[in-house]
Structure 1
Amino acid sequence: MAEVCDVEVVVFDVLGTMVDEQGGLRAAIREAVPASDDASVDHLLTVWQEHVEHEQQRIGEDSRAYANTEIIDREAAQRVAARAGLTDPTVIERLATAGQRLSPWDDSHSGLTRLARRFPVLGLSNASRATLLRLNAYAGLRWHQALSAEDAQAYKPAPDVYRLAVDTAGCPPERVLMVAAHAWDLRGAQTVGMRTAYVRRPVGDPPKRTDTFSWRSNSLDELAATLAAA
């Protein structure tokens, strides 16, 4: 078991870890295409997610110049619109900004508040600066500071994104704890020496047997209690 006294700053992934990204996107698609059944909505969600993943991967491979999530989300919305036969520009624009309106998980506020009483807490998100500002306001997430990968002109799991958090924390990376529901995100944090804590969410990327994270919890409240008790 890792020694919590060594942790000085706690950093949280936002999309999927603190807010229900998949559920929010699904709701936005259903709003844009109200006649769609569940299978059609799931298909359109896959179209969106595959575009975002592919474009962020291209940026990571230097086969595309950096573009922030506002641009990529707008591209994804256009793809969904084309598949669904949407032509109303107002509807398409609202769909493109769905990432600004994602609801927090039930324990996000309470867990974040408990940890913020003991540690400086940072949000670290692939969301653009403008999107992150509006998302934090919509979801009611209260950070000591929120950082966007846009400042690194890269996307997680690129090391430069995690270095934003380490540099902001102003302490050695082994004293900075990265919290996420995505094992790939935590592996990225480990490449720069950060400590890691996996929090299970209904949708995420669970750890493999080979993963060695400092903590694993079933909820943010459970993680907060573990760190507070140590």
Structure 2
Amino acid sequence: MEKTSIKAVLFDFIGTCLDWHSSIVEALPHELSEQARSRFALDWRQAYFDYNARRVSEGRPVEDFDDTQRTVLDLFLDQQPEIQHHFSPDIKESLVAAWHHQHAWPDVAPALHKLRHHRKLQIYVHANGSTRLQLDLAKSAGLQYDMLFSSELLGCYKPAPENYRKVLKLLQLKAAECVMVAAHDYDLQGAKEVGMRTVYVYRWTDDILEDQEAIKRARDAYLLDMSSLDSVIASL
């Protein structure tokens, strides 16, 4: 890839920047053990990814994030009749609402500060989901970005190339001037296909079925947290 100065860093949001797991575990019925709640949260999250992947493969339009979560939750609970009685309509709605209130991973705010103030880079959220969701999450997590790009706003899901190209067009930037940072390898594969540089950040809550060694070989950088993100991006 031709050497080009980086001007912007695009972040996936939930999972990459935000600890969704803690919010969902807390919102789940406390009649379930903490271990059971953790496992439920991880499996529900994977079911969401699988559902969205099917929608993308079928060429279906973008769906409201909350509606998707309601659908996936009901489908997921149908497979677990032994615990269904714990999930009243109110608890289901509180679980959907919990996705709108998450804390940032502790390494994120310092990383964003370094990128913006030390490296003078533009920083953006570029994630699947709704704009309302992203606004709520940025506020609850106390994080500031230059712009929030949702799949709802763009009209298509990552990792479709069109999704990334629309962001590049809006930013009036070349792909080689942008870095995509994510804890989801499919996000980075889509970014790579349009010419962006890619940085993978490992989070134990995400990509639970992926081969991490294969990801290391495929990406421009592989990090265990964001503490060195600014220097790594500078080296690209």
User: Which interval holds the TM-score relative to the shorter structure?
Assistant: 0.7 to 0.9
Of 152, 155, 158 in structure 1, the residue corresponding to residue 154 of structure 2 is: 152
CA distance in 2, matches of 1:47, 1:209: 21
Deviation at 1:159, TM superposition (A): 1.5
Which residue number corresponds to residue 122 of structure 1?
124
- Which residue of the partner structure matches residue 142 of structure 1? 144
Is residue 44 of structure 2 the alignment partner of residue 38 of structure 1? no
Letter in 2 for 1:60: V
Q: Provide the residue aligned with 1:70 in structure 2.
A: 66
Q: Calculate the TM-score normalised by the size of structure 1.
A: 0.85
Pairwise CA distance, 1:197: 1.2
Q: State the 1:100 CA deviation.
A: 0.7
Secondary structure of 1:179's counterpart equals: strand
CA distance in 2, matches of 1:207, 1:99: 30
Q: More deviation in 158-167 or 173-182?
A: 158-167
State the AA in 1 paired with 2:10.
V
How far apart are 1:12 and its partner, in Å?
0.7
Instruction: Find 2:178's aligned residue among 176, 179, 189.
Output: 176
TM-score (norm 2): 0.83
Give deviations 1:49-105, integer Å, cap 9, x for gaps. Answer: 244123212210226443121111122344466643146433221111221112110
RMSD between superposed Cα atoms in Å: 2.6
Q: Is the 8 A contact 1:48 1:79 kept in 2?
A: no
The alignment partner of 1:124 has SS state of strand
Q: Distance in 2 between matches of 1:209 and 1:129?
A: 29
- Structure 2 CA distance, aligned partners of 1:69 and 1:52? 10
Equivalent residue for 1:217, pick from 214, 219, 223: 223
Contact 2:9–2:178, Cα closer than 8 Å, also in 1: yes
8 Å CA contact 2:62–2:151 kept in 1: the answer is: no
Show CA shifts across 1:22-42 (max 9, x none): 33322222xxx1110134324
d(CA) in 1 for partners of 2:202, 2:42: 22
5+ residue gaps, structure 1: none
Instruction: Report the counterpart of residue 48 of structure 1 in structure 2.
Output: 44
Residue 218 of structure 1 and its aligned partner are, at CA, apart by 2.6
- Which residue number in structure 1 is paired with residue 6 of structure 2? 7
SS in 2 for 1:109: helix
Contact preservation (8 Å) 1:24, 1:98: yes
Question: Is residue 203 from structure 1 mapped to residue 209 from structure 2 by the alignment?
Answer: no
> Aligned with 2:143: secondary structure?
coil
Counterpart AA for 1:35: E
Distance 1:84 1:40 in 2: 13
* Inter-partner Cα distance in structure 2 for 1:229 and 1:160: 28
Sequence identity of aligned pairs in percent? 25
Letter in 2 for 1:152: L
1:148-182: CA deviation from partner (whole Å, max 9, x where unpaired): 01123322212122223312321110111111122
Identify the residue that residue 190 of structure 2 maps to in structure 1: 188
- 2:63 is paired with a residue whose SS is coil
Query: For this pair of structures, how many residues does the alignment match?
Result: 226
Q: Report if the CA contact (8 A) 1:189-1:196 is conserved.
A: yes
| Matching residue's letter, 1:95 | L
Question: Do 1:14 and 1:123's aligned partners in 2 also have CA atoms closer than 8 Å?
Answer: yes
Q: Distance in 2 between matches of 1:74 and 1:142?
A: 28
